[in-house]
Amino acid sequence: MLDLYNKQTKCLVALDSIIFGFDGENLKVLLVKRGIEDNLETWSLMGGWLQEDEGLNEAADRILFEHTGLRDVYLEQLAAFGNPFRDPVMRTVSVTYKALVNIEDYDHKLANKVTTKWFSLKTLPKLLFDHAEMVALAVERLKANASLYPIGFELLPDKFTLPQLQNLYEAIFDTEFDKRNFTRKILSTNILIKMNEKQKGFSKKGAFYFTLNKEKYKNNSAFNFLSLTNPDKIL
Amino acid sequence: MLDLYNKQTKCLVALDSIIFGFDGENLKVLLVKRGIEDNLETWSLMGGWLQEDEGLNEAADRILFEHTGLRDVYLEQLAAFGNPFRDPVMRTVSVTYKALVNIEDYDHKLANKVTTKWFSLKTLPKLLFDHAEMVALAVERLKANASLYPIGFELLPDKFTLPQLQNLYEAIFDTEFDKRNFTRKILSTNILIKMNEKQKGFSKKGAFYFTLNKEKYKNNSAFNFLSLTNPDKIL
DNA sequence: ACAAAAGTGTTTTTGGTACACCCATGG
DNA sequence: CCATGGGTGTACCAAAAACACTTTTGT
């Protein structure tokens, strides 16, 4: 039987992660500048190779940590990419992950500000290999998830205002929502807790901060979170 | 740079496909009996290894064909499984695919009836490695897809009755729907065409056959197909 | 005639959407 | 006092859900 195994082709397995962040205005992706060996102006996703005795999730976590110093980011598997010529150097199958992080939180933990940079989704640079395709798929899935589940809070600080939350969802879906309808829908899920504190400095009136009711949030309680029944709103 | 590549661990890459079918009553999965070399009573998904110069989708298609003689089945990638010890013989990363096929259609094209068999989801045998986990994930995704898009017709013959269609959806979601509401919702999408022919032999009255309006079906026109806003209905 | 499944309409309730004005504050 | 963004309520409409009786036909 070992024979049968030994006859098969072996491949490198890479892990590439699409890290989404939100700066209050635009949805962004964290990219890494490729080492000097290549064309200097190519950016790539957070990537690395799978090592022995390491699971896929584990490897993706480790690679993200090595690039950024970030731990405990929830990485979710996206898809495997295996075009035989996707990496011209050697046959590599890449398993992609996506994560949402809070940019503020991230920036002060950031290990390597020289080689990593946030890019707005609308002005992405040229990406390595098939990484642009990976980003596109990640965005598509992000939209699908965000309309069904209350994700997106990972992209915000622990306390955030409703206008901030709305901006985020508007950035994800690249559209605008009615303020009153948005507020009503979000509050009706009861996953937010209003604080007594107001945001200072941004607007004159100041907006109340909210925090996540983590109990309810974990319970997955808000299925069909934003029920966007109209595809035009999403696409 | 080649050095850097050469230092990395290489793995086998397997493709495993979850093939769903529907026999009019239960949702089923097509499994293969393992070769004589192993414990005889283990069944597995349609699986095989990735070959050189072959993309993932291509390989999954080829493997399905080799096991079953079926071509042109729409296989959709599900997820990669990469626990380092999932295959005790050698480190293997498995990329899984799922597909929906019409059992009747399948059975007469079937190349190898001895080693492949349909199993009801509710009475699955012991499966190889982590294949049970793969099936569970596939079922979860099937539900999610079926509530958003009018998939499921692949599982039925070219002409089918509304009660059959309802049975199928009830099997997918493991619940019951109101006949009148179901009918209304399905017909309102206009993706079905009523035929003049009635089903004979099953019920005394006989139910009208319908066919798929393939134009509208391809157009993806029925987003949020069954809008199942109540998670209890789904879970 | 009766059993078994097919087929069909109405009412209620829920939730999505559209829409406009007052409020609080910093400048 | 005014400009800026924050906050709120209502009316309409579409669609989901609940609900029961009649029809057809094989036995």
For A4-31, write each residue's pLDDT tens digit.
Answer: 888 888 999 999 999 999 888 889 999 9
* B117, B53: one domain: yes
- Asked if A102 and A192 sit in the same domain, the reply is no
- pLDDT given for residue B34 in this prediction: 78
Which pLDDT tens digit goes with each residue over B117-135? 899 998 899 899 999 999 9
Domain final residue pick, A148, A167, A198: A148
pLDDT at A232: 38
Q: How far is CA A173 from the centre of its chain?
A: 14
Q: How close B199 comes to chain A (CA, Å)?
A: 35
Q: Is A9's CB within 8 Å of B89's CB?
A: no
- A40 — contact with chain B (CB < 8 Å)? no
Average pLDDT over residues A89-106: 89
> Pick from B50, B52, B229: which is nearest to A227 by CB?
B229
Collapse the DSSP code of B22 into the 3-class scheme (helix H, G, I; strand E, B; otherwise coil) and give the result.
strand
One domain, residues B39 and B102: yes
Of B98, B123, B148, the domain-final residue:
B148
CB B87 within 8 A of CB B103: no
What are the DSSP calls for B139-170, one per residue? HHHHHHHHHHS---GGGS-SSEEHHHHHHHHH
| A-chain residue closest to B38, CA distance | A1
CB-CB contact of B17 with B57 (8 Å)? no
Per-residue pLDDT, A1: 65
Instruction: Report CB contact under 8 Å: A51, B227.
Output: no
Predicted confidence at residue A26, as pLDDT, reads: 86
pLDDT of the residue at B47: 92
B contact test, residue of A2, A3, A37, A56 with most B CBs within 10 A: A56
Q: How long is the CA B137 to C1' C9 vector, in angstroms?
A: 40
The CA-based dihedral angle spanning residues B12, B128, B119, B36, taken in that order and rounded to the nearest 10 degrees: 90
Given a contact cutoff of 8 angstroms between Cβ atoms, the answer to whether A133 and A81 are in contact is yes
Q: Note whether B10 and B121 are same-domain residues.
A: yes
- Interchain contact A12–B (C-beta under 8 A): yes
Whether the CB of B227 is less than 7 Å away from nucleic strand C comes out as: no
Same domain, B140 and B64: yes
Same domain, B121 and B96: yes
pLDDT band for position A231 (50/70/90)?
A: very low
Share of chain B above pLDDT 90, in %: 49
State residue A229's pLDDT score: 46
Give the count of domains, chain B. 2
Tell me, what CATH number does B200's domain have? 1.10.10.10
Q: Is B3 on the interface with A (CB under 8 A)?
A: no
- Flag whether residue B49 sits within 8 Å of chain A, measured between CB atoms: yes
Q: Are both A144 and A174 inside the same structural domain? A: no
pLDDT at A57 over 80: yes
Q: Is the pLDDT of residue A37 over 70?
A: no
At residue A111 the predicted structure's pLDDT band, cuts being 50, 70 and 90, is low
Query: What is the spatial distance between Cα B199 and Cα B154, in angstroms, rounded to a whole number?
Result: 19
Model pLDDT for residues B133-167, shown as the tens digit of each residue: 999 999 999 988 888 888 888 899 999 999 999 99
CATH, residue B20 = 3.90.79.10
pLDDT band, residue A154 (cuts 50/70/90): confident
Q: Which long-range contacts (CB under 8 A, 24 or more apart) does A154-159 make?
A: A154/A74, A154/A99, A154/A100, A154/A101, A154/A102, A155/A20, A155/A21, A155/A22, A155/A100, A155/A101, A155/A102, A155/A103, A156/A22, A156/A102, A157/A102, A157/A104, A157/A105, A158/A211, A158/A212, A159/A195, A159/A197, A159/A209, A159/A210, A159/A211
Alpha carbons A170 and B170: distance in angstroms, whole number: 36
Residue-range definition of the domain harbouring residue A162: 153-234
In a shared domain, residues B144 and B161: no
Query: Beta strands of A137-220 (E only): which ranges?
Result: 160-161, 192-198, 208-212
Q: What are phi and psi of A40, to 5 degrees?
A: -65, -30
Q: Are residues B181 and B221 in the same domain?
A: yes
